Structure formats: structure tokens, C-alpha cells
Structure 1
Amino acid sequence: MDRLFSGALRVARPLAKSLTLSLALSCAAQAQVVLRVDGHPITLEEAEAVNPQAADQPQVRQQVVEQLAQQQLLADALKSVPPQAQARIEAGQKNLRRQALAQLSAEAFLQAHPISQEAIRQAYEKHIADLPTRQYWLRWIVVKTPEEAKRVLDALRGGKQTFTALALHHSIGQNAELGGALGWQSEQAMSAEVLGVVRKLQPGQVAGPIALGENLAIIQLVAERTPPKPDFEQLKPQIEQQLRQAALQAHVQELAKNAKIDNLAPPAQAAPAKKMESSHAQ
């Protein structure tokens, strides 16, 4: 059931655009006509439905009206509408009306259930508590064999080449072209094997080789820090939007519990498995 409604509503989408577009026909009698094309009225509300800025920006309004006029000319030039096309047009109109009413309902629900400042503050405190306690700025060199790892370590200890230069020429790992730079990494992002080694290093020190699946890694710790904590006011709009979306989604799920929904779409069929083909060279 969740999949039927997941992502169905987006609070941030402008309500006016979809609402005025779907209701344009019903209020055409009261609408302000800004242009006529062979007797067909084009209203200000229709222009605003295409772009809400047309309401108070004459240049935008003129561009939108010209676009609608061209569409009307092309529509009038069509002598007949194939049945399949007519069905798609009617389906599109139904979808637009459904979308407009859903947005109107969503806005009404959110206005009646505003997100409290306390809820935003609690979500912020949880976000801060979930932040990693330490971050490490790392470089690495990834090689395939113990022999390659030994050559790299010997070169580092001998001071013949820098870590960056060796990564550029020998590493097969991520960001080799950047000298193996991984940037700031949180403890949660590292494997237990890597984290256990990194925690013992001082900035500038190198350790390895460390087993990474079938490969080996040599790691350098460049710096470490306590992650900076974002300010409450900085995160407040994002947190409030997330809470609004979560509240709306929960509202939709509650509506679904009390609704009779018959999913009549045929089940998706799995794609047939491809036969294994030999990859040996001929």
C-alpha cells in the first residue's frame, strides 16, 4: 500500500499553477479575457496556470499569452482527433483535476496541522546527536598484490616519492587521479578494519596494507576533527519541510486505511533470465 502513495504529493509544488489550470473551464465566465483567437478566449487565469509570475509581470504574461495563442492556432488547425488521442486528452484533464484537488487538500491539512517550533527543535537536536563524533581527512593507495604494497611502502619510507605521486601512478582505488584524496570521512563511513587502523594514527602517518576485499590499501591520515555542527536557523527550513512532508504522508496513509482501494493492474512479470555466455577468448 505504501508504494501506491509514496511520493504522490509534493508540498513545495505551487498550488496556484495546477489548481487554476484544472478549474479554468469552470470559472471561464468570471475570468478576465486577455486575448481571443478566432473567438476562443484566453484568460488571465489560464496564463497564470502556466506561469504564476504572469499575474504581476507584464512581460512574462505577454510571453505566456503568445504561447497559448500559438497552441490555440495549432489546435484549431486539427480537423479531427483520433479516438486514442482523445482518450489521452481526457485522461490528462482528469489527472490535472485530481492533482489540483489533492494539492488543495494537502494545503488545507497542513494549515490545520502546523509544525510546532518544539517539534522542529527536537528534530534538530536528534540530527545533531546523530552526527559522527570524529571525522578523518584521508588519502589512500589501493593495489592488487602484497608485492605492490611493499614497493609502495618502501618508496614512502625512503622518501623517494610523495604519497600523492605514488597514488597517482600506482593506485587503482577511488580518486587515484587526485592523489588518492578521500577528503573528510566520518567513522560511520569506514569499515571496521580501516577505522581501527585510522584511530591509531597521528596526522601525517601512514599505515597498511589493509585488506579491502581482494585488494590492499595503504592509508595516510592528513587531519582529524570534531565535525562542525550546523546552526539551528540554517537547518530550520529544511527540517520543517521534512516534518510537513512526513505529516502529510502519514495523513495519506491514514486515509488509505479507511478507503477501499482495488488494485486492478496486472502484476509485473519478471524479465526472463539471460543465458550465461562464455567469456573466454576464442
Structure 2
Amino acid sequence: MTAKVYLIGAGPGAADLITVRGARLLARAAVVLHDALVEPDMLELAPDARLIPVGKRCGKHSSAQHFINKQLVDAAKAQADGQIVVRLKGGDPMLFGRADEEMRALEAAGIDYDVVPGVTASLASAASLKRSLTLRGVARSVVLATRSRAADSDDIQRRADADSLVYYMGRDQAPEIALELIEAGRDPETPAVVVEACSTPRERSVTVSLQALADGALSDWFDKAQPCALLIGEAFRPRSTLAGQSAASDLDAALEHGPDVHAA
């Protein structure tokens, strides 16, 4: 008999953006293995838990994934039946969080687990910017991506064709990302927004053109100690500009299909 494990999404940073379910489970946890980017006040939601830092940080000493898997299994086996072990992961566990490797390890050890979703950085950044990732007449498709390795030409083209594109962990490769998209046909004047430390007191953002990003305009702006998301697309233009585009789209649709009529 072992403890049950919960892979919980911590959300983008702020402690009050974790789900109610996630907070309730943290309050009951005996052990919490947490990412490096989890905010300290988030860990205060687990007052009785033994806290084990296992996160990865670019360019810093990090726990190898196979060692995290072993720690998670060992923690579950060391607890009595009915207790809870939490693997607290930044954002949502199922997006760029290597959750599958941890779930495989738990399954191989015969340990019961559940996943509790969290607010991912792309959604939190859009909310903070007050810009929708999708917008009628402007953006109908969204791609969430990371550039941990060089992408092939087909992959780059697919990303360039997306209306809204969000890169996770793209700070160090931002100029290369922008140049690849321009070479694949993306308009150099497309807005590119960087949001750092979303939802925390340290949050800040800046908007430049894709060309400026490719030229290294933000090289001295980035804070390498903070997580960031890179959002690219027409949906991130000033709202006054977007309103004109959306209105034009509505007019075109009305001329083609007639006005929408809804029964009371």
C-alpha cells in the first residue's frame, strides 16, 4: 500500500491562480515535490508537507528527470496508505512539463495517481495583456510551441502559418525564432510581445515588431532569472486597430451570408 500521487498544475505564478482542487490537495499533502519556478507563497498552501525542490532551471544545476521520477516513486512508497504526495508543476502538468515520463514511472511502480490541471502561461499572459489569443476576423488558430532544439523547415512553416503563436522557454532563442518566422513568410511588422513572470509582483511586458526581435532589440531587456512567454500575432496589436479589422470582417460576412438573426 502506498500514498496516492497527484500531479498538480501550479498555474503561472500567483498562488490564488491555482485551482480550488489543487489548493485543497496541497493542504492535505504529506510530501510536495515542486518545480523551481513555483512561488514561495504557493508552497505555504502545504503547511504540513515535506518540501522537496526538484525543478529545472536553464543554465543552472537541475535534477535529472530520471532522478525526479525515482524521488516521486520513493516518496509515494514511503507514505502510509491514504496519504497524499504532490508533484507540483508550474503552469499545467500536461504542457511542456514532462508529465508523461513521471506518469510512466508511477504506472511501472503500480502507484495510483491523478492529474489536476493548471492555468498555463499562454492563457495567463493573454489575460494579463487583455488580448485574446483568438479573435473573430483576425485569429482563428493558436499554436503553443517551444524551441528547445532547432526545428525543421516543415515545423517552422506550420508555426509561421498560425494566427497566434506562443513560445514557451523562448527567451534565449528569441532572435532566431523571429528570423525563422520572417524567412518562412511572416510579416516582419507582426507584433511580438514578451511577458515575464506572469501574474507575480515581478511581471512586466514589452511589445516590439518581429523584425526588431530578430535584430536583437530585447537582448538587454530580458531578465534571465524570470520565466517568460513570447506571444506573436496580429491579435496583439492595439485594440483600436483590431476593432477596425474585426468590423471589416463582420461586414464581409454580412454581405456574403446576410445578417445573423436570432429568435427570442
What TM-score results when the alignment is normalised by the length of structure 1?
A: 0.18
Q: Select the structure that is richer in strand.
A: 2
Name the larger-Rg structure. Answer: 1
Q: Select the structure that is richer in helix.
A: 1
What TM-score results when the alignment is normalised by the length of structure 2?
A: 0.19
